[in-house]
Structure 1
Amino acid sequence: MMRSAALCMALCLAMSMAACQPGPAAPPQSAPTSSVAGPPADSAGGATSPAVTSPEPPAPAAPPALSAEAQAQLDQELVAAAKANNVPLVSELIGRGGNVNAKDAIQDSAFLYAGAEGFNEVLRLTLAAGADVASTNRYGGTALIPASEHGHVETVQILIAAGVPVNHVNNLGWTAMQEAILLNSGGPRQQEVVRLLLAAGADPGIRDPEGRTALQNAERLGFAEIAALLRGHG
């Protein structure tokens, strides 16, 4: 009986010790997810960088305002540079605020002189800078009239395309077409100028101070090719 009691006490002790051992470890908790979304993933699973926009280049600064005296000096330098056909200097002076319509003492502007003399690079610079295509020289003529007189074919094309009036009459009573006939030799360049003027809508019926039309002057001066052009135009 004593042996049975000892066995019972040993069994109770073993059960008590088993109850004191730690149980199995709890599974680890997952880290909380952030409520702030990260950068979007690309197709390969990596994060894409946000697009970077290049800043707009700054606009070129306007030339500083000049006093009336300084502006007048700059404008005269521009006319002189145009008369010298100095293209780089003309470009520089325009960039500094030179006025392509300002005139010198004999009523030449950079635009008018370049047109009259066939300085086409200077002429294009003045047109790009806002030349007044209807402005007139000391004879009351547009740039197209002396350009036609001198037979500057490319210049005539530029001026017509720019919108210079083709039927303007100067203080001498002549149009561009009349000057192309009256004040030159009637050669190939003059013939091409007359052709360009006719195509641009010039009126050959406008008479000179003596009452002659362009055709009558061409016939009188023996310019058979020009006369044929005018007859063909009707």
Structure 2
Amino acid sequence: MPLVLAACQGAHPEAKGTDMPTTSPSASSGAARPGAPSRSPAASPNPSADAALLAAAGRGDADGVRAALADGARIEVRDAHRRTALLRAAAADHVAAATALLAAGADPDALDDRHDTPFLVTGVTGSVAMLDALRPARPDTTIVNRYGGTAVIPASERGHADYVEAVLARTDIDVNHVNNLGWTALLEAVLLGDGGEAHQRVVRSLIRHGANVNLADRDGVTPLRHAISRGQQQIAGQLRAAGAR
């Protein structure tokens, strides 16, 4: 178990900086979402507008985003890591830029080379504002990151209590989803959390929204047993009150 824990510490993707990308024709846009403007990569390509769009999204320049789109930038153009402008904006929590992109039809489910999407990275940043900006675009909450986790799992690990409550209350995300390590959001909150107030709030929200408090890990160890072994007395109390064994 110690080896598994060591391998997973910091395992979820961090929100990276927004350095100027190198665009590549082979890594350019996929199909636009229904109702979005038609921006075929083969139609009047404008590499400078594409680059300007990615750069503006990365620095949070909503006016720059709109100007680049007006100049012919492709809404789903990709940078060298296959990040779209929306993913770059979401990772840096630039809500105004993301809103401008979404209004133009940007895809909240576009995957990059790390298997992140604009929606998935909100679980890492813990941004409720970005979550709410993305929700009208109906992101797919079942898409998983490279560790097989949905957005609520890294959020629970990191103690993003407001986000965990919001994503469970406002979307159809599965509170009992199991990732590639065999862990649910509840198990991650206990195994990788510090037992403090933020993680106690996370556990409270998970329980309130239907987390299975007795769903054990691959070794048959339940969240309660993990909490006890880590000296997380308050969380252990919460789990017992919810019927944990």
Task: Give, as a single letter, the amino acid of the residue that structure 2 aligns with 1:193.
Answer: V
Structure with more relative contact order (C-alpha pairs < 8 Å, separation 6 or more): 2
Q: 2:202: which partner in 1?
A: 193
Structure 2, gaps ≥5 residues long = 1-34, 43-73
Aligned length: 173
Q: 2:77: which partner in 1?
A: 73
Find the partner of 1:222 among 231, 234, 238: 231
What's the CA shift for 1:215? Answer: 0.2
Find the partner of 2:147 among 132, 139, 148: 139
Q: Does 1:181 align with 2:154?
A: no
Find the partner of 2:37 among 54, 61, 64: 64
Task: Give, as a single letter, the amino acid of the residue that structure 1 aligns with 2:111.
Answer: K
Distance 1:129 1:72 in 2: 15
Distance 1:112 1:80 in 2: 12
Distance 1:216 1:210 in 2: 12
Distance 2:121 2:198 in 1: 20
What's the CA shift for 1:211? Answer: 1.7
**Conservation of the 8 A alpha-carbon contact between 2:155 and 2:164:** yes
Q: 2:19: which partner in 1?
A: none
Q: Does 1:113 align with 2:121?
A: yes
Task: Give, as a single letter, the amino acid of the residue that structure 2 aligns with 1:127.
Answer: R
Point out the structure with max Rg over C-alpha: 1
Distance 1:122 1:68 in 2: 28
TM-align CA RMSD = 1.5
What's the CA shift for 1:210? Answer: 2.2
Residue identity (%): 40
Structure 1, gaps ≥5 residues long = 1-61
Q: 2:111: which partner in 1?
A: 103
Task: Tell me the TM-score normalized by structure 1.
Answer: 0.70
Distance 2:210 2:139 in 1: 22
What's the CA shift for 1:88? Answer: 1.0
**Conservation of the 8 A alpha-carbon contact between 2:195 and 2:235:** yes
Distance 1:107 1:210 in 2: 27
**After the TM superposition, which parts of structure 1 deviate over 6 Å for at least 4 consecutive aligned residues?**
none
Task: Tell me the TM-score normalized by structure 2.
Answer: 0.67
What's the CA shift for 1:120? Answer: 1.5
